[in-house]
Amino acid sequence: MNIETYLSMDATEMKDLMKRKQVKPVELMEMSFQQLEKVNSSLNAVIDSRKRHALEEAKRINVDETPFAGVPFLLKNISQALKGSHLTSGSKLLKSFVASEDSNLVKKIRESGFIFMGHTNAPEFGLKNITEPVFHGPTRNPWNTDYSPGGSSGGAAAAIASGIIPIAGASDGGGSIRIPASFSGLFGLKPTRGRTPVGPGTGRQWQGASIDFVLSRSVRDSASMLDRLQVVQPEAAFQTPLFQGRYRDEMRQTFHKPLRIAYTTKSPVDTTVSEDAKSAVMKLVKWLEKEGHFVEEKENGVDGVQLMKDYYVMNSGEISSVVQKLEKTIGRSIKADDVEIETWVLNQAGKSISAAEFSASLSSWDVASAKMAAFHQSYDFYITPATAYTAPKVGELTHSKSAQERLRYEVNELDKDRQQALVYDMFLPSLTYTPFTQLANLTGQPAMSVPIYMSKTGLPLGVQVMASKGEEDRLLKLAYQLEQSDIWEGLKSNPFLKWVAFYLLENIMHVENSNTI
């Protein structure tokens, strides 16, 4: 096998070739590390490599024992703990932390046969929609390295889009799968709350807003992973009934009758939306209408601004809890210069929130969930832009030193209501890029970003589709139909776009003697 063939494959193709003995696991692993070593200095997608261990595992693995035996895989540097490996969550405070055991999700992925190459970059504690941690440095977008691949699963997105691996671990607490999928031309599915494994004692990740899964370059890979990862855990705080079929089989089925679909291009927090984002949605709307489905413009009735305010109350409380636990671990108080500005402001604001206020903020999620459940009585899917714009430039959403100094000062001088207003304003530039994804996290619904649009600047932009709780099968069915159509702009199906990420990277960085084109 040559590198060109490796770069063209998804995880399903890789495992099928190994099952047929046409390629050995160690060959795939060597090519994966070859691509990693070629592009990572430009992208900073992977921050922890376990090359020696991965190659040894590839030599020993039996490809007939597990479904994805020998396929290379990267984990996210938040929550996806691998025994014996560093897990910093993007923070210098955790620079020496080494996981003592695999997380539940990692155990399930390991049972599928994947071989772990290391961990991908992520922002500190997953708090941003970009991946620019001070401790590890920024990750760059393979389509154009001046831009971000998004966050918080930005390292995973850059690793897939640059061809290092076809699938990677990701998580989504406010859009962290769908945002980098949109910015990087990938398929990103956020499953229903409670669908995939969490660790004992950590089942309330962001009070249920956050869920672990994967980013991928093909719909079938995500469907296969949902087949492998769906679980009912007795110890988990949130559970959803197991899907009784196989997602890989169900995605190939057709819809038995025309769908009723609602869409909007209006920001739920009254921020601006680019013409690219509007055009992306209308491209999908026209395709759906052509397929015989009923589509109409309709808002969902949820107060998006209030929902975001309540989301930030949760963020504040959760980060204050994280900081408190870290202080006990390191045996001292954490100071402002120990963490990034977003962590510090949320921590300080969280100290002022009462238990009653925290509880009330979570209750508003349930109100939104009830409204969306009623909304889906009339509509099968709800379509929005995945992101309001194509990717921001690296550094664009990072606060200047003067802004950081102002935020540190003001958060300690304000009462709790104005602290929360400060938090909202602090995140507003980022929220303007990504106002659409948080709803599904707070209601617990499944949602996906599909890569069906390419801007004139050569950057991708995804469209989000939401469904009722437990209906990932219907989302995957629609995604698979789109993937087979001529409007799909993802890396997998279009021969030119399959290579364009690498072509752009090579030309921007002026790398000579490329063997990927």
Q: pLDDT per residue over 414-458, tens digit each?
A: 999 999 999 999 999 999 999 999 999 999 999 999 999 999 999
Q: Stretch 36-45: mean pLDDT, rounded?
A: 98
Give the number of domains in the chain. 1
State the pLDDT at residue 497: 38
Which residue range forms the structural domain that includes residue 143?
A: 3-258+464-509
Q: Estimate to the nearest angstrom the gap between the alpha carbon of 401 and the chain centroid.
A: 28
Give the end-to-end CA distance of the chain in Å, rounded to a whole number.
15
Is 341 part of a structural domain of the chain?
no
Q: Quick one: what percent of the chain has pLDDT higher than 90?
A: 92
Is 20 part of a structural domain of the chain?
yes
The H-or-E segment that residue 427 falls in is helix 416-433
- In the chain, what is the greatest distance between 2 CA atoms, to the nearest angstrom? 66
Q: Residue 479 forms beta bridges with which residues?
A: none
- Active-site annotation, residues: 76, 152, 176
pTM: 0.95
Q: Stretch 7-28: mean pLDDT, rounded?
A: 97
Q: Estimate to the nearest angstrom the gap between the alpha carbon of 458 and the chain centroid.
A: 21
13, pLDDT greater than 90: yes
Structural contact between residues 174 and 211, judged by C-beta atoms closer than 8 angstroms:
no
Strand 260-263 and strand 187-190: pairing? unpaired
Is 82 part of a structural domain of the chain?
yes
Q: Assign residue 33 the CATH number of its domain.
A: 3.90.1300.10
Is 171 part of a structural domain of the chain?
yes
Q: Kindly tell me the burial class for residue 337, based on how many C-beta atoms sit within 10 Å of its own C-beta (0-12, 13-18, 19 or more).
A: exposed
Is 70 part of a structural domain of the chain?
yes
Is 39 part of a structural domain of the chain?
yes
Is 369 part of a structural domain of the chain?
no
State the pLDDT at residue 516: 31
Structural contact between residues 305 and 421, judged by C-beta atoms closer than 8 angstroms:
no
State the pLDDT at residue 489: 95
Closest CA to 211 of 155, 251, 153, 157: 153
504, pLDDT greater than 50: no
Is 468 part of a structural domain of the chain?
yes
Alpha helical stretches, state H, 176-303: 178-184, 219-229, 247-250, 275-290
Sheet holding 46-49, edge to edge: 46-49, 115-120, 72-76, 167-172, 211-216, 187-190, 447-454, 460-466, 381-385, 260-263, 294-297
Q: Stretch 478-494: mean pLDDT, rounded?
A: 85
**pLDDT tens-place string over residues 280-305:** 999 999 999 999 999 999 999 999 99
